[in-house]
Amino acid sequence: MPDAVDTAAALLAAAADQGPGDTLRIVLLVSIVGGALLAWFLLRGYRSDDTGDYGSSDGRGTTTDRDANA
């Protein structure tokens, strides 16, 4: 019977030491979410809509004050 106890203890010790699997999953998930947020933050400055942009026309063919002195 002592062999079974020693074997069980060895199996439990081996099962507890599985390496950095959970840590790597967390790091990978945080990296993907962080990359998506960074891409969203950087790309939102490259929008092509003209609402509120400086120097855009008002829809009646006139331009804003920036082009008045040109």
pTM above 0.75, yes or no: no
Tokens of 42: 């950087």
φ and ψ at residue 20, rounded to 5 degrees? -90, 35
Q: Find all residues with CB under 8 Å of 58, minimum gap 6, and list them.
A: 64
φ and ψ at residue 40, rounded to 5 degrees? -65, -45
Q: Tell whether the model's pLDDT for residue 32 goes beyond 70.
A: yes
d(CA 52, CA 20): 49
Q: Tell me the average pLDDT across 23-45.
A: 94
